[in-house]
Amino acid sequence: MQSRVYSVDEVHVESLFVPNPPAIAVSAKGTVPTTGWTQPDLAPWSYIAPPKDGILDLDFVATQPTGLVLEVICPISVTKAFQIPAWVLGVRVHSSTNKVEAMIAGAKKPSEAELAGEGMPLPWPFPWWAPRSKRS
């Protein structure tokens, strides 16, 4: 069973040179309370509407050990690549005890026109019609 790791110490995010859809690589280092934790992962949160701060939340999780373990604080790390929506400006990695944020270098808040229809189910209920963006 996967659970959040004990703590997250460092988070680094890098933009990958993939133009459409954009992608990032996230690296996180943290600690777990015992030996034997395996399969570290970063699990993205699902959103109904994009968060106003532009931060993508991720859970730093790993598979708990079974059987006998040593009760000693151990390091754990993970690196994962993600395709991201246009609204993402950075990431926030959550553990059991804390959270750490990292911003994407050069990220800027997209305009409403760029976000028009993002998050809508595909295909839109009527394939010949799509919502219009507000023009400023």
Residues 6+ apart with CB under 8 A from 132: 116
Chain-wide mean pLDDT for the chain?
A: 84
pLDDT in tens, 53-76: 999 999 999 999 999 999 999 999
Residue 117 domain-assigned? no
The answer to whether position 133 is within a domain reads no
Domain membership of residue 126 (yes or no) is no
Q: CA–CA separation, 87 vs 55, rounded Å?
A: 8
Q: What is the pLDDT of residue 92?
A: 97
For residue 127, tell me if it sits in a domain.
no
Q: Is residue 135 part of a domain?
A: no
- DSSP-derived letter for residue 129 is -
DSSP 21-70: S-EEEEEEEEEESSS--EEEEEEEPP-SS--TT-EEEEEEEEEPP-S---
Containing structural domain, residue 46: 2-110
Residue 120 included in any domain: no
Number of structural domains (the chain) is 1
User: What is the pLDDT, as a whole number, of residue 105?
Assistant: 83
In a domain, 50, yes or no: yes
Give the torsion sign (CA, 76, 62, 36, 78): negative
Q: Is 9 helix (H, G, I), strand (E, B) or coil?
A: strand
Count the Cβ atoms, other than its own, within 10 Å of residue 51.
14
Q: Which amino acid is at 121?
A: P
96 within a domain of the structure (yes/no): yes
Structure pTM? 0.77
Using alpha carbons, select from 66, 55, 88 the residue that is nearest to residue 3. 66
Tell me the residue length of the chain: 136
Reported as a single tens digit per residue, the pLDDT across 2-43 is 999 999 999 999 988 876 778 899 999 999 999 999 999 999
